[in-house]
Structure 1
Amino acid sequence: MPIYHIVLFKLKPGTTPEQLGEWETLARGMVGKIPGLVKYEANTPLPSTAHRSQGYNMGLIAILEKAGDVKVFAEHPAHLE
C-alpha cells in the first residue's frame, strides 16, 4: 500500500520564482535516487481555495512504496540537500 507523505510550507517573504524552480528541480530529481520514492509533486494553492490556506503557500506530496521508506527518504543525502 503506498504511503502519502504530505508537507505544507509557509515560504519566506521574498522567495522568488527562480528559487522555487531550483528547489523543485532538486526535489523532483530525488525520484529514482531515493529507494522507495515513487513520485513527487509540489505546488501552490489554487486561487479559488487560497483564502482557506491558513498562510501555507506551498505543499508537496511524496508517494512512497511502504511505511519504512519514510525514514529512508528523511535521511537520504538527496533529501537532506
Structure 2
Amino acid sequence: MPVYHIVLFRLKQGVTQAQLSAWAEKTKGMVGQIPGLRSIEAGQPLPISVPRAKGFDMGLVAILDSPEHVASYATHPAHLE
C-alpha cells in the first residue's frame, strides 16, 4: 500500500521564484535515486486557496511504496541535500 508523505513549508523572506524552481527540479530528481520513492510534486497554493493556507507558502506530496521506504527516504543523502 503506498504512503502519501505530505509536507507544508513556510518560506524565508527573500526566497526568489528562481530558487523555488531550482529546488522543485532538484526535488523531482530524487525519483529514481531513492528506493521506493514513486513520485514527488511540489507547488505553491492556488490564489483562491491562499486565505485558507494558514501562512504556508509551499506544499510537497511524496508517494512512497511502503512505510519502510519513508524511513529510508528521510535519511537518504539525496533527501538530506
| SS of structure 2 residue aligned to 1:4 | strand
For residue 24 of structure 1, what is the amino acid of its counterpart?
Answer: A
4+ long deviations beyond 6 Å = none
Unaligned runs of 5+ in 2: none
How far apart are the structure 1 equivalents of 2:75 and 2:49?
33
- Corresponding residue for residue 24 of structure 2: 24
Q: Which residue type is aligned with residue 13 of structure 1?
A: Q
| Equivalent residue number for residue 72 of structure 1 | 72
Higher helix proportion (structure 1 or 2): 2
SS at structure 1 position matched to 2:15: coil
Q: Which residue of 2 aligns with 1:6?
A: 6
Residue 33 of structure 1 and its aligned partner are, at CA, apart by 0.2
Unaligned segments of structure 1, at least 5 residues:
none
Note the aligned Cα RMSD (angstroms). 0.5
- When normalised by structure 2's length, the TM-score is 0.97
Offset of residue 25 of structure 1: 1.1
Could you tell me how far apart the structure 2 residues matched to 1:15 and 1:3 are?
30
The AA in structure 1 aligned to 2:41 is E
Q: How many residues align?
A: 81
The percentage of aligned residue pairs carrying the same residue is 54
Matched to 1:57, the amino acid is D
**Could you tell me which amino acid in structure 2 is paired with residue 65 of structure 1?**
D
